[in-house]
Chains A and B, each alone.
Chain A
Amino acid sequence: MRFFQNTKIDFMKARKVALIISGSLILISLISLVIHGGPRFGVDFRGGTFLQIRFKHQADSQQPLQVPIDQVRKVFEEFGHGESEIKHYGETETHGDSALQDIAVRLDETDETDTLVTQVMAQLSSSFPDYSIHEIRRETVGPKIGKELVWAAIWSILVAMLLILIYIMWRFEFRFGVGAVIALFHDVIITLGIFSIMNLEITIPIVAALLTIIGYSLNDTIVVYDRIRENLKTFRRQIQNYSGIINQSINETLSRTIVTSGTTLIVVIVLYFFGGEVINDFAFALICGIIIGTYSSIYIASPILVEWENRKQAKVPARK
């Protein structure tokens, strides 16, 4: 079976359109980030406490399956934390004859988190006598550690990009490195933008996902670049047309690009649907990243080489 045999799509012809699309996506992302005052940091980076509380009750009882958030909030209000973010976390699940519903709560940083949570849990148990209620996950990060983690995350992304730039410049040419890194910024900014627009939190796993996207998108870019490098060598004298070579290279690797992106997307989508709530946002970031990364290796990383060549040609007057 073969999906893409001897395709001859003129990708470079559409590069202006792609540029406009990417440009507007980046602009929208940046606007959203500015409006929201930067990325929406989770507890890891902002400090505070994340609680996952499990409500469990017998499925045959008369209670509705959805734990009423309002009532839960009322309990937090009693202790002066009614403004905390409280929401359902994951789907209602049934195990045997009992049903589970998790609630996620984000508390701002306080001195007395410990006593607060103990009191709230006791109050919840008495407010919801039909449920058995347990705290099953708690993540508390002090503001100081949160700040350190923000810097560590930013540094790690920049260091990764720098090292990659150096490697590509060594193995290819300078312009390839620039093209690849611009494509990476493109991917990371748009992924951050999607998170900002969808109001999702940036947590440590999301940073891990961003770094994976960098690695993955690069993998894609390098495969195309590698073919360009090979074809540039082979056709040095036959083709004057730089963008022709690049088009040919993308077409030759198109089948591989689609198959690999496809298999990776399959597993990440499976992870998104079956991996559980904890891993959900992480999988979502990867889905966005893989799609954007595949697109950017074709429409961002490669056109940059063409533009670079065109500028160079324009600068150096034709010698004859």
Chain B
Amino acid sequence: MSRKIWTKIAVVAGIIILFAYFLYPTIRFNFMMNQRDKDILKLENPDKYESLLSNSIKLGLDLQGGMNLVMEVDVKELLDALAQNKDERFEKALESAAQEARQTDISIITLFARNLQEMNVDLARYYGSRTLRNQDEILEYLRKQRDEAVGRSLEVLRNRVDEFGVAEPNIQKQGNHRLVVELAGITDPERVRGIVGKTALLEFRLLKDPQVIDNIGNRINNYLRGQSKEDTTKITQQDEETAPEDTSAIQAEELFGEREETEGTTKDTTEADSANLAREHLFEENLFLSNPNNPNVLLIPKENEARLRYALQDSGVQRILSEEVGNAELLMGKTEPNFPYIPVYLANKEAELTGETIEGAQQQVGRSATSIGGYEVSLNFNDEGAKIFSRVTGANLQKPLAIVLDDKVQSAPIIQSKIRDGRAVVTGLNTMEEAKDLAIVLRAGSLPAPLRIMEERTVGPSLGKDSVMKGTYSALIGLVMVGLFMMIYYKMSGAIADFALLLNIIIILGTMSAFHATLTLPGIAGLILTIGMAVDANVLIFERIREEIDKGKSVWASIETGYSRAFITILDANVTTFIAAAVLYNFGTGPVKGFALVLMIGILASMLTAIFVTRTIYESLLSKKLIKQISI
């Protein structure tokens, strides 16, 4: 056999090995591991678990169950909140603008301004000030407020992400005014709808003294480490008795990636087993670490986040808290990307004052003597807020005052002096970005701009499982039927085409694994369609070879001519199909994109296998004199 053919065989083998390698994590994760194995791996070797997870094909929300929300900021509420001297005409103009905006593409601000103009009312009547005199200035101001509200909502949502209790939540801005939220494996969509629509709650809360914090940290550490298996079971039972209806409590199942089906099927024993097992592994070492640089905060390594959430819900931990400090609770703080710990604060349950009293907040470069070179945020309160703030700051000098957004500590600056005029500055911020984020958060409490759901697609996990099962079933039936047909119609050549078809499927799924693409239900449909269409390239070649053999050419010459003639046809036919698929990919929303993607990869894969792989098989068979005649 000539060297050239050996090279070709090596390339074919290389392709098979490469894509099989890409596909391996998917197969291992989905078919070779049960939930218990996954739990153990997740706890013992989170890095390996992550890499296995991220290298397998992701199932779309329609297959694993989940929610996809497209939201818009309620600009009507915003316009309402910003206005002064509101009267009947204002309400009327706003209401009819809101009605119309729901049906058209024109923005509510434009419609509102037009409505007022028709009524001969000046915008300045409601929004005018010394700096905003004419119509254009006000319109620009309102639009800017709207854009800021979108950014604010994004921050607020990101801050709330933990409440959804799902792995890998995805929150993104879409276009200028929309936010897209993707949440996999949601068990309680109603709760999510509530959370995303909630107005942000910003509070200022005092922290407990360092000694108290230290003491609490130690007691909880000891309690958690001292727990034996028996103790845990007891406490869990107690948990279920005391708070069976508490939906906001994070259940152990959620933490470890297990999801109860919405249908309320009883958990089987393996799931209960793995939850127990998870608990045994949980607290072998101290959970809370003290922070040498800041005694006001406890630290928890980021990889222990699941343990922390579990501990915060634990009834024993809650008992310790109520014994030691009845009026305080542990709150998580904002995490920084390059700081490997989650800060945890012990804050008063009672807020000193809320964000509604803030009139404005602005990030700026450090100006005061102590903050030169750093960044800071200035904020000012309204009269009522200034009064309270003056009292709180006066009574708590040199103590930290936490800024808390939706129960998450954003920053805990130390009170340096009594602030009487309601104009405060938060100093010591490291980057402009940090300052900007804090300013956004501070404004979030005062300007209500609730999110409205514009589009929702929610699929229950059981329906997703159904779809995966039916899709796989259809694909297998289709594959067997097409495979048999090809073998009957083209005999051995049909078998070669079938081999190419299997390779196609491996290439498509392998490519999707390698690029972390998402497989959706339409994607599975695309795969099934590809099974039918992928044989086309081979059919074209085989028919051509048959024609050439009919003309009396030798086997070698027939194959040669067959492949070269059919190549042009295959190219033209596939390019046009590819165009249609590419346009679809561009147009498509989530699931449909998955379909177009599979179609595109499928077209490329089928060209590769038909033109190169099957030809190599023919050539090697013929040159090794395994066959003299091809059966086609």
Interface residues of A (CB under 8 A from B): 1-2, 52, 54, 56, 114, 118, 132, 134-145, 147-149, 152-153, 155-156, 159-160, 163-164, 167-168, 171, 204-205, 207-208, 211-212, 214-216, 218-220, 222-223, 225-227, 230, 252-253, 255-256, 259-260, 262-268, 270-271, 274-276, 278-279, 282-283, 286
B485 partner, pick from A171, A216, A226, A262, beta carbons under 8 A:
A262
Return the chain B residue nearest A274 by Cβ: B474
- Nearest residue (CB) in A for B479 is A267
Binds A, one of B219-227, B357-365, B455-463: B455-463
Residues of chain B lying within 8 A (CB to CB) of residue A2: 489, 546
Residues of B within 8 A of A (CB): 62, 70, 101-105, 189-190, 193, 262-264, 453-460, 462-463, 466-467, 470-471, 473-474, 477-478, 481-482, 485-486, 488-491, 521-522, 525, 528-529, 531-533, 535-536, 539-540, 543, 546-547, 565, 568-569, 572-581, 583-584, 586-589, 591-592, 595-596, 599
CA A255 to CA B264, docked complex, whole Å: 54
Q: Chain A contacts of B103 at CB under 8 A?
A: 143-144, 147
A222 lies within 8 A of B529 (CB): no
Contact A160 B568, beta carbon cutoff 8 Å: no
Is there an interface contact between A204 and B471, defined as CB atoms closer than 8 Å?
A: no
The answer to whether B470 and A212 have CB atoms under 8 Å apart is no
Interface contact B485-A212, CB-CB below 8 Å = no
Docked-complex contact B521 and A279, CB < 8 angstroms:
yes
With a cutoff of 8 Å between Cβ atoms, the chain A residues found around residue B531 in the complex are 267
**B481 near A252: Cβ-Cβ < 8 Å:** no
Contact flag A256-B473 (CB < 8 Å), given A266-B478, A267-B481 = no
Would you call A136 and B485 a contact (CB within 8 A)?
no
Q: CB-CB < 8 A to A145: which residues of B?
A: 70, 454-455
Contact A282/B463 with A136-B262, A167-B575 known, Cβ cut-off 8 Å: no
Instruction: Please tell me which one of the listed residues A214, A256, A276 contacts residue B467 in the complex, with CB atoms under 8 A apart.
Output: A276
Residue numbers in B under 8 Å from A212 (CB-CB): 529, 580-581, 584, 599
> Residue on A with the closest CB to B578?
A215
Q: How far does the Cβ of A150 sit from chain B's closest Cβ, in whole Å?
A: 12
Known A-B contacts A144-B102, A205-B592; the reply to A156 vs B532 at CB < 8 A is no
Q: Is the CB of A132 within 8 A of B263?
A: yes
> Which 7 A-B pairs give the minimum distances between C-beta atoms?
A215-B580, A156-B587, A264-B532, A136-B460, A267-B532, A267-B478, A215-B577
Which chain A positions have C-beta within 8 A of B565? 230
- Cβ B589 vs Cβ A204 within 8 A: yes
Greatest chain A CB density within 10 A among B568, B574, B587 is at B587
CB distance from A149 to the nearest CB of B (A): 8
Closest residue on chain A to residue B543 by CB atoms: A256
A282 contacts across to B, CB distance below 8 A: 522, 525
Q: Is the CB of B477 within 8 A of A144?
A: no
Are B454 and A167 touching (Cβ within 8 A)?
Answer: no
A106 to B478, CA, bound (A): 32
CA distance A132 to B264 in the complex (A): 9
Residues of A within 8 A of B101 (CB): 144
Residues of B within 8 A of A56 (CB): 263
A205 touches B455 (CB 8 A): no
Q: Can you name 15 A-B residue pairings with CB atoms under 8 Å? A: A1-B490, A136-B460, A137-B458, A140-B457, A142-B102, A156-B584, A156-B587, A163-B579, A171-B572, A218-B577, A219-B573, A256-B536, A259-B489, A259-B543, A267-B528
